[in-house]
């Protein structure tokens, strides 16, 4: 697997959609007050699906134009969503909350509303499902 990005510094984000979620491993730390921290060295593939072609080109979902920080608009949104997806069975979070955090980070990066709507909609419809919180919710209903 070839990763598009590798985190150089710790990334922290606070979100009301993470309140009540608690999880920790070597790469991520989610506090029930609603914050997540991802450790340096974490690597991810940006917006999926994407494939690396010969010559270093990528084919697939574009990560968007560069933001004011010089990174693609989806950089932090895809970082956090990828980390949440990687441990989706263990983290007690619902899929809907991961999509909301993704959209929130796109907005904070300055993405226009149409792009937030389009990308978050694609993540909701085509992204991973059955997160730990969804499984627990379904078990409670049974």
The 3-class SS string of the chain reads CCCCEECCCCEEEECHHHCCCCEECCCEEEECCCEEEECCCCEECCCCCEEECHHHCEEECCCCCECCCCCECCHHHHHHHHHHHHCCCCCCCCHHHHHHHHHHHHHHCCCCHHHHHHHHHHHHHHCCCCCHHHHHHHHHHC
pLDDT score recorded for residue 50: 67
CB atoms within 10 A of CB 59: 9
Tell the residue number behind the tokens 């007690």, with chain if given: 92
User: pLDDT > 90: what percent of the chain?
Assistant: 67
Mean pLDDT along residues 134-140: 63
Answer for the pair 24, 56: CB distance below 8 angstroms, yes or no. no
Spatial separation of the C-alpha atoms in residues 125 and 112, rounded to whole Å: 20
Evaluate if pTM is beyond 0.85: yes
| Greater pLDDT, 51 or 90 | 90
What confidence score (pLDDT) does residue 137 get? 59
Give the model confidence (pLDDT) of 46-86 as tens digits: 887 666 677 766 666 777 888 888 899 999 999 999 999 99
The reported pLDDT for the residue numbered 141 is: 47
Tens of pLDDT, residue by residue over 112-130, are: 999 999 999 999 998 888 8
63 vs 24 pLDDT, higher one: 24
């Amino acid at each position: 697997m070839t990763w598009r990005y590798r985190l150089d510094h710790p990334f922290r984000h606070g979100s009301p959609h993470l309140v009540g979620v608690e999880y920790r491993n070597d790469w991520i730390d989610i506090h029930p007050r609603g914050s997540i921290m991802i450790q340096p060295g974490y690597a991810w593939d940006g917006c999926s699906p994407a494939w690396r072609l010969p010559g270093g080109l990528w084919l697939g979902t574009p990560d968007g134009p560069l933001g004011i920080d010089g990174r693609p608009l989806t950089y932090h949104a895809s970082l956090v969503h990828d980390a949440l997806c990687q441990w989706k069975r263990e983290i007690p979070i619902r899929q809907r909350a991961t999509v909301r955090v993704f959209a929130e980070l796109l907005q904070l990066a300055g993405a226009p509303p149409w792009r937030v709507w389009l990308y978050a909609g694609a993540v909701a419809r085509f992204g991973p499902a059955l997160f730990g919180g969804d499984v627990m919710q379904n078990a409670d209903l049974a």
